[in-house]
Structure 1
Amino acid sequence: MTDNIIEERRMLDDMFGLAGRVAIVTGASSGLGLGFARTLAGAGATVFAAARRLDRLNTLAAEVPGIVPVQCDITVDADRRSLVNRAVAEGGRIDVLVNNAGTPGPPNAEDETIDGFDAVLRVNLVAGFHLATYLVGSLPADARASIVNVSSVIGLVSTAPIGGASYAASKAGTLGLTRELAGQWGRRGVRVNAVVPGWFDTEMTDGLFTNDKSAGWVRRNTMLGRGGTDGEIDGAIVFLASDASSYMTGQTLVVDGGWTAR
């Protein structure tokens, strides 16, 4: 191996590596969030993996070095504050926040209740906003941080009959919030971007890929002719968390197999 190749690999490691960084990932007990936590830890970060299901987080921590399990209900403000405070106390600071936790609502608008609509927004939009403000409030004046908000193709286009009004509103709101926070905090060294996943086989899409009709709907309407598989969005998270995206903020990175490009 030549010296040039070695130097290029070092540059790539520096660009995409997260050694010494401290990250928070919400909704880390399953689905995409579990993959995000694994991948960030694999890139060298200490990851405070937060979710309500502590048993699953403990299993993840036993399998993956660098994972710190934190039981947290992000709709409870005391839990949100405790999560940020613990990451700062044990990690020294927070470099990365991935607002991933989410919950669906009913697919039909007429089935949405007032309380149910509010509950979806509290999880998918409001909690991430408060976590972001608490993170920024914890930063020293010269600190840098990256916030990654996880939205959805349902926040960009209608996916009726699958989706739902409360979920679509929360995920579209996430994109608007991303742009606004990026504008407010950019000069403070805080980058805020969003990732938009397409159709992945997770707990939230349970049944989508096992039903011939809905699985066929995904295949027909996705340019790559299939849904996403494990790990296919994780690289986008590492990119936005790392110095590889150091001149990127207020942006939406769509990872949907071409669903929204039709």
Structure 2
Amino acid sequence: MTDAPEFPSIPALFDLGGRTVVVVGSASGLGQSSALGIADAGAHVVCADLDEAGAQSTVELIAARGGSAKAAALDVTSTESVEAIVAAHADAAALVMTPGLNIRKRMLSTTDEEFDRVIDINLKGTYRLMRGFGAEMAERGRGSIVTFSSFRAIVVEPGQGLYAAAKAGVVQLTKTLASELGPSGVRVNSILPGPFETPLTVQIKSDEEWWNAYAEKTALGRWGILHEIAGPVLFLCSDASSFVTGHSLLVDGGWMAQDGRFSPRV
């Protein structure tokens, strides 16, 4: 009989001290909150975004909290831009990808150009980053990749077709890369946020009925608060999730857990 392994310190498993984490889409919204949370855990964060000024603002927020970060310009629709950031940060211990574009239109009213734009940012941009950083991590034999899909990968509503299709594709890319890189020691997981107030949901907030309906559909009866994404991201980036890969983690306030149409008097 072999001795049981020593039980580790659980708080230490969440410690990212000495590691570099690249957070794409960190200028605002869920990406900015992810970057702040990861920096709080001790990582040096590369805040990458098409909006470099916004990324720099996130760097300043991290610095004000005593953390370490730098800004980097990145266009996820450009293979050359992605390859450049991979080369510059090939030693990254983790990659988090949050960029998204949603064009809310009924499918019969959409255009080829809108389809291509939504797919290029949400799906192909994620693919480019996964491919680049995945190769580097596989060579080193370790690393964590966290993609951002959406609860819309599972359930839809009228006007969400292009976005839902792209985000469903992200889930499948995540599972595939998890399968392919698992033997190399690289983990790949996806977060599926529910309703959070971000730049992507400004259109919904402008319609009180639409906004309130979303809140009422969740089991918690409200929208998510931006900082509430940081814990799940940290978990998947850290050693606390060392046996978790190929997973789709819903962070949706219980949206998918209940029917939501009616509360019977029972």
Structure 2 length-normalised TM: 0.89
**Is the deviation greater in 206-215 or in 168-177?**
206-215
Q: Residues 140 and 114 (structure 1 numbering): CA distance in 2 closer, same or farther, change over 3 Å?
A: closer
Which runs of structure 1 show a deviation greater than 3 angstroms over 4 or more consecutive aligned residues? 139-142
- 1:1-262 correspondence runs (5 A): 11-64=9-62, 65-88=67-90, 93-139=91-137, 141-158=139-156, 160-161=157-158, 163-262=159-258
Distance apart, 1:25 and its partner CA: 1.0
**In 2, Cα distance between the equivalents of 1:261 and 1:240?**
22
Give the superposition deviation at 1:33: 0.4
Quote the residue 1:3 is aligned against: none
With 116-125 and 99-108 compared, the bigger mean Cα shift is at: 99-108
Q: What TM-score results when the alignment is normalised by the length of structure 1? A: 0.90
Deviation at 1:133, TM superposition (A): 1.4
Q: Could you tell me which amino acid in structure 2 is paired with residue 101 of structure 1?
A: P
Q: Who is 2:4 aligned against? A: none
The alignment of Structure 1 onto Structure 2 pairs a total of residues equal to 248
Amino acid at match of 1:81: E
1:252 to partner: Cα distance: 0.7
Tell me, which stretches of 5 or more residues in structure 1 are unaligned?
1-7
Q: Which amino acid is 1:63 matched to?
A: L
Q: How far does residue 142 in structure 1 lie from its aligned partner after superposition?
A: 4.3
State the shift of 1:108 in Å: 1.1
> AA paired with 2:74?
C
Match of residue 262 from structure 2 = none
5+ unaligned residues in a row in structure 2: which ranges?
1-6, 259-266
- Please give the secondary structure, in 1, of the residue aligned with 2:253: coil
The alignment's C-alpha RMSD in Å is 1.6
- Distance across 2 between alignment mates of 1:140 and 1:253: 23
Cα distance in 2, alignment partners of residues 208 and 114 from structure 1: 24
Whether the 8 Å CA contact 1:96–1:241 is kept in 2: the answer is: yes
1:20-77 CA distances to partner (integer Å, 9 max, x unpaired)? 1111111111110011111111111111111111111112212313121001111011
Q: What is the CA deviation profile of residues 116-160 of structure 1, one whole-angstrom value per residue up to 9, with x for unaligned ones?
A: 1011111101111121111122236443100111011111111x1
Do the aligned residues in 2 keep the contact of 1:175 with 1:194 (CA within 8 Å)?
yes
On the 8 A contact 2:93/2:137 being kept in 1, the answer is: no
d(CA) in 2 for partners of 1:155, 1:188:
28
Q: Percent identity?
A: 34
Segment drifting more, 166-175 vs 200-209: 200-209
